A and B are shown apart, each in its own frame.
Chain A
Amino acid sequence: MSGTAELRDIIITRTYDAPRAEVWKAWTEPARIAAWWGKRGWRTPVESVTLDVRPGGVFRLNSIADADGSEMPVDTIYHEVVPPERLSFGGQPGGRRATVTFRDLGGGRTEMTFTSSIHADAELHARALGGLTSAFDRLAEQLPRPRPEGTFR
C-alpha cells in the first residue's frame, strides 16, 4: 500500500567528474561538507559541523532553511570508515544507517553510491530522495573543476 509507513530503501548513484580523493574530502572535511550539505534553499553553517572521521566518532551538523530558519540536523556516529572507499553512519546501534561508497572509475572520475532506508510512506520517501538528489547536485558544483587537457599547471 503506497500510503503505509514501511521501511523503504534509498539508493542513489552519481558519477562525479573529480578524483575519488576529492569526493572523499567533500564528505570528510567540515568546510567542504558545509558547502554542499542540505537541499537547495538550505545552508549548513560550518560551526555546526563535527566530523570525527573514525569508527565511533561523531558526524554531526545542522542545516537551516533560508526561508523560515527551520532546522534539519544530522546527529550520528560513524560505523565504518575506510578511506577513500566507504563511510557508514547512523544513530543508535541497530538503528537506521546510511552508507556511502566511492568507486574510482579512472580518468579522474568517481562513482558515488548512497544507500540508506527510512520508515516512511511514499510521499516522505519521495521527499527524502528529492532532498538527497538536490544535495548531491550541490556537491558536484563545489568539486574542483577538472583541468582541461593539455593546459599547464
Chain B
Amino acid sequence: MTDPADIELNHRGIARIGRYQHLSIDGVEPNALLTLYRQMLRLRRTEEALIREYHPSDEMRCPIHFCIGQEAVPAALSTLVRPDDYLFSHHRSSGYFFAKHAPMREFFAEIYGRKTGANGGRAGSQDISHTASRFYSGAILTGAVSIAVGVAFGLQHQGLDSIAIAGFGEGATDEGAFWEAMNYVGLKKLPILFLCENNRYATYSDQLKRQASDNICERVLPFGVRSKRIFGNDVVLCQRTIAETMDYVRKGKGAALVEAYTYRWNGHVGPENDDVNEYRSEEEIQFWKNNCPISLLEERLLEAGYLDVRLKAVLESEIAEEITAHFQFAKESPFPSETDWRAMNWEENSPLADRLLATVSRSDFDERQTDAKLEPY
C-alpha cells in the first residue's frame, strides 16, 4: 500500500494506484459518514432510474449529461453549502441540484418538460436553475463560472457573509473567460470557491490534447487563488478539503480552488456508451469503476460496523420510494401551455422605477446644432 502522499495527483498518476486504499473515516462521526453515503447512493440510484426510463419511452425529450461516477464532490458539498450561498453548476447538473437541496421532484418534472418543473420546462437538465435555492447551471459552462464571480463581487460589495461556489469540469479552463475570472478574483480577493471536477475529457477530447499541463490547481496559484488537488472519489477527503477551503473563503481571505480528479462512467451525454470514438481505454474505465466513490466508502462503513445489510436495505427502499414519487409527480404534471413569448422573455413590471422616477413631458430638440467635434482619443 502506497502512502497517499506518494500518489502523483493527475490522471496518469492516479491510474497507477490500483484500488485506492487511503479512504480514512477516523475522527468522523458515524452519522456524518452515513449522510455522505446516503447522498451518493441517492444520486446514483436517481441517475440509474433516469437511465432506465430514458429509452425507449422517450418521455424525457432533452439531453441529460449523467454524472454516475462523479458523486463524491456533490455529496460532500451538500453537507457544507449554506442556503444563502449561491451555487453554479456545469451541464452535468443533477449532482449539484442535489447538493443545493433543491426540490428533486422539480428536477424530474423539468426534464419531463412539465409546467411544474424547476423552470416550467424551458431549461431542461443542462440549463436548469432553482432561484429560491440559489442554484444555477448552464451548458456554455465557463459563462456560469464568470457569473459566479459577479455574485461574489455583489456579496463582497454588500458585506454579506455567504459565498459563491462554481462547479465545472477541466474543459471550462480551456476558455479565456476562465482566466479572466482568475485574474479578477485574485485581484479583488472575492469570496468564491471553485470546484473543478477534472474528469479528463471535454466530451471526448483528452485534457492533454488541449492543455500543456493537467494540473489546473498549479496554474491558478500565481493569480492569487489558493488551490488544492485531491483524489475526487474519496468522499471523506472531498468533504474535509472542501470544508477547509470553504472556511478560508468564508473568512474573506480570498478565492480558492479545489481540483478533484474523478471520472464519468457514462458517455458524455445520454445513457449510451460513446466508446465507439475510442477516446478512452476499457482498462481506464474499469480502473475507475473499481474505485467507485460509493463502494470505497461502503467498504469502510461495513468494516466499522456503521452500515450493515439491513440498514443498506432501508436506505435503498427509502430512496426507491422517493424516486418513484418523483417520477409519478413528473408524469402526472401538466405540460406547459403558455405561449406569451413576450412575457417569457421580457419582464414588463418595473416596481423600482415606478417608485423612484417621475414622468415628464418631452422637450423640443433644436436641429440647428452640429455634430460633436471628436478629439484624437
Interaction A to B: no
A contacts, CB < 8 Å to B: none
